[in-house]
Amino acid sequence: MDVKEILQLVVIGVAMGSAYAIAASGLVVTYTTSGIFNFAHGAIGMLSSFLYWQLTVQDGWPVWLSVIVVVLGFGPAVGAIIEFGIVRGLRGSSLATRIVVTIALMVFAMGLATNIWQGQSASLPGFFPDADPVRFLDVALSVHQVIVIVCALTVAVGLRFFLFRTRVGTAMRAVVDSPATASLNGIKPDVVSQLSWAIGAGLAALAGVLIGPMLQLEAFALTFLVINAYAAAVVGRLRSLPMTFVGAVGLGLFINLVPYVVEHIGFLSSALDGWRYQPALPAVFLFIVLMLIKDSSLRGARPTRARTMRVPTFTESVLGSAGVIAFTIVVAQFLSNDTLNRLQLGFGVGVVGLSLVLLTGYGGQVSLGQMGFAGVGAFAMLKFGGASGNPLGLLAAFALAAPVGALVAIPALRVRGLYLALTTMAFAQFMDETVFRHEGVFGSTSNALGRLSIFGVSTDGDKAYLVTVVTVLCLLSIGVLALRRSRYGRVLTGMRDSELASATLGIDPRAVKLVTFALSAGIAGVGGALMAMANEGAAAEQFALVQSLPVLLIVVVGGVGMVTSAFSGGLALGLMSIVGKQVDISNLDLLLTGVAAVGLSRSPEGWGVGLADQVTRIVPTSRRFAFLPGRPAPQPEPVDEVTPADVTRPSGVRAGGLV
Amino acid sequence: MALLEVRRVDVRFGGLHVLHDVTFACEAGEITGLIGPNGAGKTTTFNVISGVQTPTEGTVILNGEDVSSLKPHLRARRGIARTFQRLEVFGSMTARDNVRVAAEVAQRRRKHGAAKGSVRDVVNLIIERVGLSEVADEQSDALPTGHLRLVELGRALATGPSLLLLDEPSSGLNERESAAFGELLTELADEGLGILLVEHDVPMVMAICERVHVLDQGMVIASGTPAEVQANNAVQEAYLGTKGAAL
Ligand SMILES: Nc1ncnc2c1ncn2[C@@H]1O[C@H](COP(=O)(O)OP(=O)(O)OP(=O)(O)O)[C@@H](O)[C@H]1O
Ligand SMILES: [Mg+2]
């Protein structure tokens, strides 16, 4: 054991942790004051990194001026604009919508960065790159690292002072618990909220400028640094700034010391040989922290803006499906192979989207990790279907992905809501970075995967395969709708409305959620198998974390409670990819999905629902348009708020006072 | 053996001592009243019995079995059903489906191999009994509070309970509906159901309950027949002291 080496790692860990701390504290400030968890936090940091690089390296601006422009100008402005333009529209919307909107921003920012700074994977110099390293405890620290640590300390002290010693800061802490109290102080809640977003985004920008030089300047990697910030913030339960700092430094140490430990412990290093586990360490850390959170309380009913969609009958779903399939067969005749292929992929993702209709739309659980399950399905298809296209491979995809889903759900269901979403995201990142990229999973070179061959009829041709994918999507939709109409579907709806009441009827909430998670994972697995067959080979990139995010986006935009959103979403993804190729804008799908989902703050239940409303209004004979939901139900009566709460509300998840 | 025994239950929320050493029992086939001023701890007691709130100390015994360590759904399966003061109706479902979910869950659990039609019959019967026939197929979000209380009652009954906990079930009902409601409760008790009733409508409690327990500031300050409780000085004081309203 080499003490000096360890010390060096500790110091680097602390420096990295300091940068995470700055980012994470920004996340906490915005979350506690506005109730919106900003998934785009990392993306703001990423854009700031690039902008800073553009100004200093490309345009030759002085460092001090660039820092001011980026950290005090760009960051806060972006935060304030997001707050004004989007966050305000989200009050009272569902968790899925609130999550999806900032994810949309994140996706949009990634699309933007890859377009503006296309292919520029430059490295960013740190502050004072030529200065001699500082020696401390026999360890060398670059001046940049020292500056990072000093900045973190300054931010910690500054935030403390601001929140506890200034009138605005006090109002900011108060607004969390009661907007009315804050108003009494003469400060408008809107102003507080906007200020908190400006501060939060400013901190993200600062973190971006500081972290950029410590890593490669790469849009996706920098954006997903947000997972590191989440991990730290979750240690502070998304509200305690001191604990967030502790978490950030802990994470920095974890990331730097685990590889050292693994390297020096024989059986660990041989066990992990060939696995890229290091990029997944933040996700592992996040997972561990989430597992330490105990939140066993049952959620009661609360009024939301959600409406009830009429569920189509069996006959309607069969007729609708027949129509869709017939339409596909006809249209497919006129399309080029490339277009067909893009649509196949789109509807393959649509199947993954359908898994979220069940899980999120019906069950109220938000998962950001469906591509993790899809990849498992693709793996099963590869092993069982192989080159021959044995349809049993699809069954295998379901049968393997479903238990994996249950396995993830067992620990993940200890938490709920936002925390559950974060846990599934950590899972997807782990699968992406570590499992799918392992040589033994998808293989390093392209693997031969034949398209389905059903009773000797091959679907090898692009037309036939598109029809196949759409048919599978239809069959699964019919199945999901049948589930929805069954006893299980009613139990699921009851659980979504009130877990508390469900439990007192003898329903085991955990069992129901577990089954739902497994079923949903199974469907995602089938989707993954279809996606892989569209490409005639499975590859890790298809099932990357960044691919998981648009899935939730497309179904929420289409109306997450309706199976039609899986179709519209699949179609939209296919079309975006087709158009993107025509106009030669890289990642157009990311840009468009981002824009589309941001529109959610105007129509928080999804455009599909809004559209359905319009059509039912115009065509009151809804039987003829039976696939459309009925008229929206009247808004729920306000609950009598005077009586004290029946039950202790979960204290862990709710945004408590900022401390 | 009593149907339900609550023994020496203590609940603290941080520094707030909400229930002190609460002990009482309910018998099958009887309506037991649990009354007390606002904030006395009645709902908290219900939460402890149904397993939603873990007490700091104390035990809950149902039919001689200690259910204290069981989760809410397991207690429900042993026969405890409840309604909520702050409503927990399945708002996106019709009133009928609210009842139906409960009936289906209960039927499946019992595995009597009962015919498929039987859930529908049970649901129809309950809907009719609680008086929801006219609004049964409306989405419950759209119903007024009084009806929602009936939905919760019907849903609780559909689980086939042996003990029914009702938390302020008549608030939101008009006088006529209240009277019918009291009659229904008496009928249910006559059929063997044990009912624990929390109710602000004290005359109603006095009229239909066999026994009444009075909670004040987390303590049982009196127990007995309605007449005994009414005559009790401590009870008079608790009510006069906090609300200025005589019994
Ligand atoms: N989750 C909780 N956390 C902290 N205190 C609570 C909680 N739930 C209840 N209390 C407090 O416990 C006391 C008893 O509340 P409880 O709701 O049991 O009273 P109650 O007798 O049902 O009153 P009411 O007649 O108004 O319904 C009250 O002071 C209440 O504020
Ligand atoms: Mg109460």
pLDDT digits (tens, 9 = 90+) for A283-314: 889 888 877 876 656 676 655 545 566 788 89
Nearest-Cα distance to chain A for B72, in Å, is 6
Mean pLDDT by 10 residues, chain B (247 residues): 93 92 95 93 96 94 95 95 94 93 86 64 93 91 90 95 94 86 94 94 90 94 91 79 49
Closest ligand (CA of B84): 2
Mean pLDDT of the A116-134 span: 72
Burial class (CB in 10 A: 0-12, 13-18, 19+), B156: buried
Q: Each residue of A556-598: pLDDT tens digit?
A: 888 888 899 999 989 988 888 888 777 766 667 677 766 766 6
The confidence band for A354, taking pLDDT boundaries of 50, 70 and 90, is very high
pTM above 0.80, yes or no: yes
Average pLDDT over all residues of chain A: 82
Partner-chain contact B72 A487, CB within 8 Å: no
Q: Each residue of A386-445: pLDDT tens digit?
A: 777 788 889 999 999 999 999 988 877 777 788 888 889 889 989 988 888 887 778 755
Confirm whether A3-117+124-273 and A322-582+643-648 share one CATH topology.
yes
pLDDT at residue A635, as a whole number: 36
User: CB-CB: which of A491, A507, A636 is closest to B141?
Assistant: A636
Nearest-Cα distance to chain A for B186, in Å, is 23
pLDDT at residue A573, as a whole number: 86
Residue nearest to atom 29 of ligand 1 (CA): B39
Distances, alpha carbon A596 to alpha carbons A42, A96, A306, A572, in Å: 20, 15, 20, 11
Residues of A in contact with B92 (CB under 8 A): 306-308, 493, 496-497, 633
Distances, alpha carbon A559 to alpha carbons A98, A329, A630, in Å: 14, 26, 14
Share of chain A above pLDDT 70, in %: 83
For residue A70, the CA-to-ligand 1 centroid distance in Å is 50
Cβ contact B184:B130 at 8 Å? yes
Least confident of A53-62, A111-120, A637-646, B140-149: A637-646
User: CB-CB: which of A301, A498, A646 is closest to B43?
Assistant: A646
Partner-chain contact A298 B109, CB within 8 Å: no
Residues of A in contact with B144 (CB under 8 A): 637
Mutate to test the interface with A, among B70, B92, B140 (most CBs of A within 10 A): B92
* Test site for ligand 1: of B43, B87, B200, B217, most ligand atoms within 8 A of the Cβ: B43
- Which of A126, A108, A107, A102 is CA-nearest to residue A52? A126
Thinking of the domain A3-117+124-273, which architecture would CATH place it in?
Orthogonal Bundle (1.10)
Give residues (CB < 6 A) around ligand 1.
Answer: A 643-645, 648; B 13, 16, 18, 36, 38-44, 85
A579 near B CB under 8 A:
no
Asked whether residue A624 carries a pLDDT value surpassing 70, the answer given is no
A7 near B CB under 8 A:
no
Each domain of chain A, given as residue ranges in start order, spans: 3-117+124-273, 322-582+643-648
The confidence band for A178, taking pLDDT boundaries of 50, 70 and 90, is low
Asked whether residue A649 carries a pLDDT value surpassing 60, the answer given is no
Q: How far apart are the first and last CA of chain B?
A: 31
Higher pLDDT, A339 or A621: A339
pLDDT at residue A484, as a whole number: 94
Within A83-210, strands assigned E span: 134-136, 139-141
* CATH entry, A322-582+643-648, from 1.10.287, 1.10.3470, 1.10.357, 2.60.40: 1.10.3470
The confidence band for A618, taking pLDDT boundaries of 50, 70 and 90, is low
Mutate to test the interface with A, among B77, B90, B108 (most CBs of A within 10 A): B90
The 3-class SS string of chain B reads: CCCEEEEEEEEEECCEEEEEEEEEEECCCCEEEEECCCCCCHHHHHHHHHCCCCCCEEEEEECCEECCCCCHHHHHHCCEEECCCCCCCCCCCEHHHHHHHHHHHHHHHHCCCCCCHHHHHHHHHHHHHHCCHHHCCCEHHHCCHHHHHHHHHHHHHHCCCCEEEEECCCCCCCHHHHHHHHHHHHHHHHCCCEEEEECCCHHHHHHHCCEEEEEECCEEEEEECHHHHHHCHHHHHHHHHHHCCCC
> Residue A346 has which token pair?
């789109």
A638 near B CB under 8 A:
no
pLDDT at residue A224, as a whole number: 79
A507 near B CB under 8 A:
yes
pLDDT at residue A638, as a whole number: 33
Mean pLDDT of the A607-627 span: 52
